Structure 1
Amino acid sequence: MLDLVRFVVTLQSLYPFWKDASQIEAKREERLRALLAYAARHSPFYRRRFAGLDLARCTLTDLPTLTKSEMMAHYDDVVTDRRIKKADLSAFVDDPRNLGRLYLGRYGVSHTSGSQGQPALIVQDRDALNLVFAVQFARGTKLKRRFLPHLGRILNPARMAVLTVQPGFYPSASAFAYFPKFLTPFFKVLHLTVSDPMARNIRKLERFRPEFITGYASALEAFGREEAEGRMRLREIGCLQQITNVAEPLSNEAGDFLERVFAARVTDEYAMGECLVLSSGCVAGRGSHLNADLAILEVVDDQGQPVPPGTEGSKVLLTNLYNRVQPIIRYEIDDRVMMSASPCRCGSPLPRIEKVSGRTKDRLWIETGGKRREVPYYVFLSGLHHVLELAEHQVVQTGPRNFEIRAVPVSGQQLSADRIRQVVMEQVKAEGLENAFDLKIEIVPEIARGPSGKIARVKNEYATMVPED
């Protein structure tokens, strides 16, 4: 009961910021100063890093930036609980039986996707995990209202279907694995695996009657085609209210198509394992709103200088304001983001993220039974999560069933091609695709960068050789 009361208090604290931008700025500043002070006191890494800085008065740009490789190299000193050890965490996530269990009885654990090259370990306490769902209730749907009306959900729980690859320690699945038990009277979740037969997933969806669907753009578009062609009848059932795209870019055309065939609102969310509540999908238009009271997102150029709204940056610097056990402060991420230069028509004072283009990836697919079937990039990433010695990677499709992973080791460490094959094929097998893949692993000293200076994590070289269906 106490956990539910704390959740209600958190939920209530999130609503007023739809009304007053000055409150957002004040809360952001308050949380930033508290985070800096806490990190300097409890993290040996940040104590050294912040030496000589007046943390009560310095500007954000006075603080040094942090790369993923730095964080992972100094992991045991970055975290603020001295009992947390990188080697122990790595062993913890290598055992699938630990999914949903709290490390040290206190912390949820996930791997970042590795879509930036090297995977990273993320730990957060229960309050941080619960915040993911509080933000979804408060800002992620059209229901911008206080908690009391949600009490009716005890008799009629909200129903969400989640479309991902097989459950694992990747961020989106990990968050639902730690779903708060005290919320189960209010909220029912159906997890669907995108590689399961489409007909089976359709039957599950129709029986479940979801009000909300969350998933990858490629999976959402596939279900949209089934609905449009009459093989699914969610629109006829009349249950679906909102569709939320995560992890992959969704074009305006695809979003319009989904809204048309399902007669439901389509929103986008931009987040990462290092900050799962970075944004909430706009309920009135494309793009998402930065939860600026919970995180700071600096859009910068190649030299780390800020770019104005309406201009696409070369990377972003993330500061997570609510995770104190693993402080993430001015953390570099190779996403090309553009903030909106004008207020959002929905009326929210939260800054609007207009476009995220750095995550666009070539689509991968296989040919089975004479038909082409899309394979999510995350099928590969779910295995690569476990290879902490991996600095960079690239997944390349070279034939109708031929894939190659090019892997670069962290400086001073060794990579095992057999280990990479093992962990990736375990995930491929879990998805029921082991007989559809021929996989080659190549350990290389570096991966060629494109004209933008960035590494393409996915390349479909075969797609340029064959016509589209």
Structure 2
Amino acid sequence: MSRLLNLLHATRELKKTQLMSRAEVLRLQDRRWRAMARYALEVSPFYRRHLAGINVERCQLSDLPPMTKELLFENWDEIVPDVRLHRAELEKYLQDPANWGKVKDGRWMVCYTTGTTAAPQLVVHDIAAVDYSHASQNLRNSVSPRTTTMPRLRLGGRRLKVVALVTSKAAATSTSLFATRPWVGALFSTYHQIDVAAPWQQVLAELQRLQPDALMGYSSVMGRLAQAQLNGELHLNMRHGGYIWGGGDALTPGIRDQCQRAFGITPFNMYGCGEVLSIARQWRGMEHLCCHDDMMVLETVDEAGRPIPEGDLADHAYVTPLINKAMPLLRYRVNDRLRLGPVHEHWPFRTLTQVHGRGTTAYTFRTPEVRVFIGMNFLFTMDERRDVASFQFRQTGPATVECLTVSSPGISPSFLVPDLEADLRRCLESAGCGGVQCTVRIVRELMPDPRTGKVEQNVPLPDA
């Protein structure tokens, strides 16, 4: 019953805030981040040191020093206030697979991030804060907040069948979010889980058996499923009213096109991370993602951490969750490169027009001089190419890199390969890596990381 009350409360609050003016939302953000800062100072010895000399009643959010993954890891027991959530206790708790996806003590969702670019990070969320994320997914579904509708009970009819492809053999965020979904959702949909790291033919066979109406999972996995459908390895007949949600990695133009051709559905984008579940989402009628500005504050900044103008591409970003008190984070650094757009025409929230993967992924080349190349530069080159369905860059030697490419239908490899190689050569030369050789190889499909199920777009040599 408490979960139902959480959802009802969250839904009521979200309805109220999404009907506010932009100025009212900004005032709400201000009240909430200051309340979170006061709470952090009250319960956390770390924050009392970290914010020493700063008056949180009078300062600006940008006056606070950022929080990083390293600081969170090193000071966990002084940041997370409840002794039942101390690191040693939680690590022991998560050693038992029976606890993965459980609501600990009826109050907290505990899990690890996938650790795409670093070691997996322990995270904890108030279950009430998790229910804000679930409520926002149900409530925010229209071009205008005045035309949103709640899910309908299908009395006497078949409920929508939803399949989530998650990393189920680890205490991952995706698994925990699926396992801790509110029971009330079962009144509207049936939910099924598939381990995305299982053998691929097994994944396809289970999907074929289930015949889902809706799919949720990593964007790169949605691309692989679309390719399997187009190749005749999969035969899904997704009915009207179904949807595809892609998140956790880049939803590229190629993946969008593949899903539209394969399933007749253009996927929606989601953006968040293990530490901050709901940053932005795209829903029906939206061209871009829309930020959940009533649930967090997002700042896009340059390399020195200074605010950048609207429309500029950030070096990194800071995000301040406004609901989750289990793990108070103030200006938490995320290394994604983001481009914030204007406030939406109908919603009082900022749009997020571009999300690129982790900006910290780097290649170290020796030509023979040592050259460091940021993998993001490859993504910029590939971003607008509609002749490429999906791709992966793999460093194959000290001065060589290969671009594995799944071409879009009807594209001739004899044209694509030399044209793309020329593009990539210009990309490397502009970054001072003209001595690096990049070759393009057309492949039928891309192989995922067996641990996470994601198809990583940049794979440098681990010991480069």
TM interval, shorter chain, is 0.7 to 0.9
Unmatched segments (≥5 aa) in structure 2: 359-375, 380-391, 395-402, 405-442
CA distance in 1 between partners of 2:48 and 2:181 (Å): 34
Which range moved further: 20-29 or 203-212? 203-212
CA distance in 1 between partners of 2:59 and 2:155 (Å): 47
Partner of 1:374: 446
CA drift at 1:140? 5.6
Partner of 1:354: 353
Partner of 2:15: 15
CA distance in 2 between partners of 1:240 and 1:231 (Å): 24
Partner of 1:242: 243
SS in 2 for 1:118: coil
CA distance in 2 between partners of 1:153 and 1:210 (Å): 16
CA distance in 2 between partners of 1:123 and 1:378 (Å): 25
CA drift at 1:458? 2.6
CA distance in 1 between partners of 2:160 and 2:283 (Å): 20
CA drift at 1:14? 1.6
CA drift at 1:240? 5.6
- Flag the 1:146–1:108 CA change in 2: closer, same or farther, 3 A: farther
If the length of structure 2 is used for normalisation, what is the TM-score?
0.73
Structure 1 counterpart of 2:351, one-letter code: R
Partner of 2:302: 301
Corresponding residue to 1:163 among 162, 165, 176: 165
Partner of 2:123: 122
CA drift at 1:255? 0.8
CA drift at 1:99? 0.6
SS in 1 for 2:57: coil
CA drift at 1:268? 0.9
- Provide Cα deviations, 1:123-154, integer angstroms capped at 9, x if missing partner: 11220222221111112677968998535157
- Flag the 1:373–1:262 CA change in 2: closer, same or farther, 3 A: closer
- Flag the 1:246–1:460 CA change in 2: closer, same or farther, 3 A: farther
CA drift at 1:327? 0.4
Please give the residue correspondences for 1:46-445 in structure 2 after superposition, counting only pairs within 5 Å. 46-139=47-140, 149-153=150-154, 156-196=158-198, 198=200, 200-235=202-237, 237-239=238-240, 241-340=242-341, 342-344=342-344, 347-359=346-358, 362=392, 374-377=446-449, 379=451
Structure 1 counterpart of 2:225, one-letter code: F
- Flag the 1:377–1:120 CA change in 2: closer, same or farther, 3 A: same
CA distance in 2 between partners of 1:348 and 1:148 (Å): 15
Is the 8 Å Cα contact of residues 102 and 176 (structure 2) preserved in structure 1? no
- Provide Cα deviations, 1:412-453, integer angstroms capped at 9, x if missing partner: xxxxxxxxxxxxxxxxxxxxxxxxxxxxxxxxxxxxxxxxxx
Structure 2 counterpart of 1:88, one-letter code: E
SS in 1 for 2:83: coil
SS in 2 for 1:176: helix
CA drift at 1:351? 1.0
Unmatched segments (≥5 aa) in structure 1: 383-394, 397-455, 462-469
Is the 8 Å Cα contact of residues 11 and 138 (structure 1) preserved in structure 2? yes
Structure 2 counterpart of 1:97, one-letter code: A
- Flag the 1:242–1:151 CA change in 2: closer, same or farther, 3 A: closer
Structure 2 counterpart of 1:256, one-letter code: D
Structure 2 counterpart of 1:351, one-letter code: R
CA drift at 1:30? 2.2
Partner of 1:416: none
CA distance in 2 between partners of 1:254 and 1:101 (Å): 33
Is the 8 Å Cα contact of residues 116 and 333 (structure 1) preserved in structure 2? no
- Provide Cα deviations, 1:323-356, integer angstroms capped at 9, x if missing partner: 111101111121111112x4556x3332111111
- Flag the 1:264–1:143 CA change in 2: closer, same or farther, 3 A: farther
Is the 8 Å Cα contact of residues 363 and 460 (structure 1) preserved in structure 2? no
SS in 1 for 2:94: helix
SS in 1 for 2:336: coil
CA drift at 1:314? 0.8
CA distance in 1 between partners of 2:119 and 2:137 (Å): 28
CA distance in 1 between partners of 2:279 and 2:103 (Å): 23
Is the 8 Å Cα contact of residues 114 and 381 (structure 1) preserved in structure 2? no
Is the 8 Å Cα contact of residues 15 and 146 (structure 1) preserved in structure 2? no
CA distance in 1 between partners of 2:241 and 2:204 (Å): 14
Structure 2 counterpart of 1:69, one-letter code: E
SS in 2 for 1:110: strand
Is the 8 Å Cα contact of residues 114 and 452 (structure 2) preserved in structure 1? no
CA drift at 1:40? 1.0
CA distance in 2 between partners of 1:8 and 1:255 (Å): 34
Alignment pair present for 1:45 and 2:117: no
If the length of structure 1 is used for normalisation, what is the TM-score?
0.73
Structure 2 counterpart of 1:228, one-letter code: L
Partner of 2:412: none
CA distance in 2 between partners of 1:151 and 1:96 (Å): 35
The percent identity for this pair of structures is 26
CA drift at 1:39? 1.0
- Flag the 1:273–1:210 CA change in 2: closer, same or farther, 3 A: same
Higher relative contact order (CA 8 A, sep 6+): 1
SS in 2 for 1:10: helix
Structure 2 counterpart of 1:234, one-letter code: L
- Provide Cα deviations, 1:308-331, integer angstroms capped at 9, x if missing partner: 121111111111111111101111
SS in 2 for 1:357: strand
Structure 2 counterpart of 1:130, one-letter code: D
CA distance in 1 between partners of 2:90 and 2:460 (Å): 31
Structure 2 counterpart of 1:377, one-letter code: D
CA distance in 2 between partners of 1:338 and 1:170 (Å): 27
